[in-house]
Every structure is written in C-alpha cells, then in structure tokens.
C-alpha cells in the first residue's frame, strides 16, 4: 500500500467496506434454538465477508465500522484482521455493545430456520458521517456498501446517503441491495434502497430480491429501474447472473455446485466480481469469478471460505462455453489438483 498526502492520511487500498459485523452463535447440532444446548462462535457481516474474501485473494482491503468495547468486539476485530484486512479504522464504542445473533443449523431457506438478532442499539448502529473516518472510507479504489447498513438507524442511512452522493474524485461505489425485511419496520425499504442504488456505480441485486422489494419481474425491468449505475449485476441463483454495462448485456450461467450450506454465497459472488473488476478482466470473466467465489462459499458449512487461488480461478474462468457448462464443483474443489476440464467433485 502507498500513502497519499500527509503522513497521517490513510493508505489507499483496493477495497474499503463499511458496515456492521456481528458475532454469530452457531449451533453445535440441528434443532430448535430452544433445544440446542451449545453454540460455536463465528462472525457474520455482509461487508466484512466481502473484504475478508478479497484480502484472502490478495487484495489490500479495509473494513470500517464500530464495535463495542467488549470481548465480542475484540473477537470481531481480531478475526477479520486475521484475514489480512486493515481494521485500524474500526472505532470502539464504550457505551453500546457489539451485535450478536443466534441461528439454527438448517438451510436459511427452510421454514424451520430460526434467527434471533440482538443488534438493536449496537455500536454499529451509531455510525454516522461524523462518527467514522471518512478519509479512510474513501481511500480505496472501490467502496463497498450494502442496504443492510441503511436499515440500522437514521444516522447510518445519513452516512450512506453521504457516501453515495455525487462527489468529485470519489471511489467507485459498489452497492449490494441486500434487503433484510426484518430490519425495515417503517415500510420505506423500496424507496430508500432504490435511491441508494441509483447513487452507486456498481449494483448487485438478486432477481428474486428485486421482485420482492420493487415488484420487478425480470432483468430488463431491473435495468429500466436502475439506468444510472454504470454496471448492474442481477444474480439469478443457480441459473447464473446477468450483467448490464455501457457495452454489454451478458448472461453467464453458474456452474453446478454440490451445496453444503446456502450461506455467504451472495457476499462471495460480490467479492469475486469485484476482484475481477479490479484486475480489469472482461465482463464474462467478472461474472465467472463471481460464480467461482460463490461456489467456494457454498461448498463449506460457514459464511466464509478460502477462495480458489488466482491461478486456479483464472484457468476455470478461461474455459470455453462447453467446458464451463460441464463444470461441477463439490466440497474441497478449491484444493483439488485435477485439471479443471475434468470438473472434479472431490
């Protein structure tokens, strides 16, 4: 990293992500939260997931947030920092706690899945334009934000409005809609999320998410609603993803994946796409790198997974359409030594 301006100015990194991370209490066995006797500790946070994956892929990355002056805050800062992420601009709040949540072991899409959040009044909810280091936030080639932060508090929403407002010399602003219905109690999510997305340069949104939030039923309708962002990525689950930019409308199918846990894939996709964007790769390869990083997350139990090595991912992304269509990825694929065209499923 290289310094810019005065000696106390923040180093410029590839990606800065701002948002809340929480301590996740993950059950040691299946069952209702009422019945699970013990939990393992992990971390959970869309923005920190993205920068952890990017740092693991070799990109200088920074996470900016607020955590409590408590043991859970220590755990978050230490764990995220262990991925190589710069956590020096995370502020500690002596009066508010670090957020935590509990979840059951089942698939999040299942009817029996439970999540219990304890984040109201958290340290991160006190973020504001005056309570974070804006110079450090803007000192990246890419600034990654999500709609989750906008739902935490009025001051957090004000901060996101400040960061997505037109400004000379701002970094490329990446915005993942990441709609969390339980966080929006005022019914304003469609309007607010559309406003923030229109202020970004690069937007990620799920096709089903766009239907739920905005009533948009196909990718063209999403682009019509969001004509401003230079790049729009509509994620379509197992069917793949479509990218709109000033030159292309391109759909790239996802490889077949033997899913272990359907968690963390959206954040991993964003990390893979952003990594390829930072490297100046073409649109098709950006989508393929997104799919590959998502497949790494889908084939492990938790939210975070080591991405494939850059060489491995580049070889797979360079496959012709026929070989890409045959690709099948299972647990352990990121470490598999077999040739990619053999589509191993370890």
Strand order in the sheet with 241-244: 61-64, 13-18, 140-146, 172-176, 202-206, 231-235, 241-244, 249-252
Q: Which residue among the candidates 86, 267, 303, 314 is catalytic per the annotation?
A: 267
The 3-state secondary structure of the chain reads: CECCCCCCCCCEEEEEEECCCEEEEEECCCCCCCCCCCEEEEEECHHHHHHHHHHHCCCCEEEECEEECCHHHHHHHHHHHHCCCECCCCEEECCCCCCEEEECCCCCCCCCCCEEEECCCCCHHHCCCCCCCHHHHHCEEEEEEEHHHHCCCHHHHHHHHHHHCCCCCCCEEEEECCCCHHHCCCCCHHHHHHHHHHCCCEEEEEHHHHHHHHCCCCHHHHHHHCCCCCEEEEECHHHCEEEECCCCEEEECCCEECCCCCCCHHHHHHHHHHHHHHCCCCHHHHHHHHHHHHHHHHCCCCCCCCCCCHHHHHHHHCCCHHHHHHCEECCCHHHCCCCHHHCCCC
CB atoms within 10 A of CB 286: 27
Residue 267 known to be catalytic: yes
Measured CA to CA, the distance from residue 290 to residue 273 in angstroms comes to: 4
Angle at alpha carbon of residue 255, lines to 252 and 257, rounded to 5°: 145
| Active centre residues (catalytic) | 267
């Amino acid at each position: 990293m290289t310094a810019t301006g005065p000696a106390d100015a923040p180093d410029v990194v590839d990606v800065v992500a701002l948002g809340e991370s929480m301590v996740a209490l993950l059950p040691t066995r299946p069952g209702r939260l009422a019945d699970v006797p013990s939990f393992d500790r992990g971390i959970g946070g869309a923005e920190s997931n993205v920068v952890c994956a990017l740092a693991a892929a070799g990109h200088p990355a920074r996470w900016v947030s607020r955590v409590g002056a408590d043991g859970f805050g220590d755990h978050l800062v230490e764990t995220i920092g262990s991925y190589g992420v710069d956590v020096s601009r995370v502020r500690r709040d002596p009066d508010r706690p670090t957020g935590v949540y509990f979840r059951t072991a089942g698939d999040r899409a299942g009817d029996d899945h439970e999540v219990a959040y304890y984040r109201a009044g958290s340290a991160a909810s006190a973020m504001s334009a005056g309570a974070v280091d804006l110079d450090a936030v803007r000192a990246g080639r890419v600034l990654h934000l999500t709609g989750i932060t906008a739902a935490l508090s009025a001051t957090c929403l004000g901060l996101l409005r400040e960061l997505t407002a037109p400004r000379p010399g701002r970094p490329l602003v990446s915005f993942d809609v990441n709609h969390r219905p339980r966080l929006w109690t005022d019914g304003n999510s469609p309007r607010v999320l559309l406003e923030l997305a229109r202020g970004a340069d690069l937007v990620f949104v799920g096709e089903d998410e766009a239907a739920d939030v905005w009533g948009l039923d196909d990718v063209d309708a999403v682009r019509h609603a969001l004509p401003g962002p230079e790049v729009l990525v509509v994620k379509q689950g197992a069917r793949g993803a479509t990218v709109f930019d000033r030159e292309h409308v391109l759909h790239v199918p996802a490889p077949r994946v033997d899913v272990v846990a359907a968690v963390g894939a959206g954040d991993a996709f964003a990390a893979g796409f952003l990594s390829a964007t930072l490297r100046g790769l073409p649109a098709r390869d950006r989508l393929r790198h997104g799919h590959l990083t998502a497949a790494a997350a889908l084939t492990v139990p938790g939210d975070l997974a080591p991405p494939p090595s850059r060489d491995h991912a580049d070889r797979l992304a360079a496959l012709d359409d026929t070989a890409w269509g045959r690709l099948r990825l299972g647990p352990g694929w990121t470490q598999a030594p077999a040739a990619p065209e053999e589509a191993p499923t370890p």
